[in-house]
């Protein structure tokens, strides 16, 4: 009998599905799907996470605050970029 060489078709199908699932989860967590679907946009906004949008220096002044770069409106000028400040 010949031993099978290479990957089976079932293994490749499962690996493909896992890759797609990881990609979708990554898109959801990074907020990219917010541009596509209003549902995801509402879920990834800073307010939905219980935070407020403000400048980075303002977030640093408050002790016990986590700072995230996603979920706030972005501007072209990086000096005016707002961050999501969530109190721990």
pLDDT confidence of residue 48: 76
- Is pLDDT larger for residue 9 or for residue 2? 9
pLDDT confidence of residue 78: 55
* Residue 76: pLDDT over 60: no
Sheet holding 82-87, edge to edge: 52-55, 82-87, 65-68
Q: Could you read off the pLDDT of 15-45 as tens digits, one per residue?
A: 999 999 999 888 777 766 666 666 666 666 7
Q: How confident is the model at residue 47 (pLDDT cuts 50, 70, 90)?
A: confident
Whether residues 37 and 66 share a domain: the answer is no
Whether residues 88 and 62 share a domain: the answer is yes
Whether residues 50 and 87 share a domain: the answer is yes
Whether residues 40 and 53 share a domain: the answer is no
Alpha helix stretches (DSSP H) within 1-88: 9-30, 38-44, 56-61
Whether residues 20 and 53 share a domain: the answer is no
Q: Is the overall model pTM greater than 0.75, yes or no? A: no
Whether residues 39 and 76 share a domain: the answer is no
Q: From 62, 60, 57, 61, select the one nearest 81 (Cα to Cα).
A: 57
Residue 3: inside a domain: no
Burial class (CB in 10 A: 0-12, 13-18, 19+), 51: buried
Whether residues 86 and 54 share a domain: the answer is yes
């Amino acid at each position: 009998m010949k031993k099978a060489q290479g990957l089976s078709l079932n293994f490749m199908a499962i690996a493909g599905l896992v890759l797609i699932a990881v990609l979708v989860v990554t898109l959801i967590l990074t907020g990219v799907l917010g541009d596509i679907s209003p549902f995801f946009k509402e879920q990834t906004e800073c307010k939905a996470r219980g935070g407020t949008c403000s400048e980075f220096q303002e977030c640093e002044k408050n002790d016990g605050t986590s700072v995230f770069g996603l979920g706030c409106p972005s501007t072209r000028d990086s000096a005016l970029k707002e961050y999501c400040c969530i109190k721990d």
